[in-house]
Amino acid sequence: MRKRGGHAVLVGICTSGWRALVTAALHPGRVLGVVALATIAPFLAPPLPTRAAFDFDQVLSTDEGWAKESRHYWLRDWRGYAEFFFGELLPEPHSTKQQADCVSWAMEIGPETMLVHDEGPQSLLSREETEALLRQVRCPVLAIHGREDRCEPVELSERVAALTGGELLLLDGAGHLPNAREPVIVNRVIGDFANRFRPLPAVRHVWTRPLNRPKRVLYISSPIGLGHARRDLAIADELRALRPGLEVHWLAQHPVTELLERIPGPCRQRTASRYTATCTISTGIWPPATSPSSRAG
């Protein structure tokens, strides 16, 4: 960022979420905003009891559950730990693909690398120091946390939001990696947050009285087969013949959309002024930020 001389919205998850917050506190002129997903924050909240039950450096008498999170087990069975760990981070049903991907990435490093990372010097030594640093953050902050997180307590994100004056989004039913299992809501809120810092261009709108608008119909075409598609095209042609100037809008998918693409120009112009295959997703938990596309027309 210093080399390019620019500013950025920082997005991080877990450890990188904390690093983004530290960067915002220490370099306020460089950071426009921070999105922290399932962030850690040293000493800010007690660890989850299941993770705090075992000493990382002791030789344990069991390898069950979070007992696998120990120096000796890491060195003995790194894959076994990775499979358990990402199973906990992705507790949502039908997460096997995401779990397999994460295990594969973990196998690209190894326990020695993680030990070097975890044994690095700590930047802060107390809860008071952590709170003081977070109060230095002056940019907007959005903290996101899944309520079913088995890695980091939700209280961390709640405290981060409170200390920075930021926003908090809690995801019911989501685990530690909501970006992997709920990418639609996560990507949308990150995009809305980042767009707050994008200069909005002047927009020119034209409004037409209903009686002055062209007649339109929405044709919902079944994707069962090309026979149905040809029938629907013929019906649309007849509608336009009976009502000159009628606009036919299509709600369709393959193979109907492919057939519309292949129709010669004149025929296609008679049958469809526009076609689309759409799926509207409503989350109901996040108000969209103002953007050019959401302004009143």
Residue-averaged pLDDT of the chain = 87
CATH superfamily for domain 1-198: Alpha/Beta hydrolase fold, catalytic domain (3.40.50.1820)
Q: What is the pLDDT of residue 258?
A: 81
| CA pair distance 83, 96, nearest whole angstrom | 10
Whether the CB-CB separation of 285 and 185 falls below 8 Å is answered with yes
Residue whose C-alpha is closest to residue 269's, from 240, 226, 230:
240
Q: What is the pLDDT of residue 264?
A: 59
Alpha helices in the chain (DSSP H): 15-26, 49-52, 71-76, 78-89, 96-106, 111-118, 127-135, 154-164, 178-181, 183-195, 226-242, 256-262, 265-271
Q: Is the pLDDT of residue 176 over 60?
A: yes
- Percent above pLDDT 90 for the chain: 65
Query: Tens digits of per-residue pLDDT, 75-106?
Result: 999 999 999 999 999 999 999 999 999 999 99
Predicted model pTM: 0.70
Whether the CB-CB separation of 197 and 32 falls below 8 Å is answered with yes
Structure tokens at 190: 């990150």
Query: Tens digits of per-residue pLDDT, 154-174?
Result: 999 999 999 999 999 999 999
In the chain, where the domains are located = 1-198, 210-276
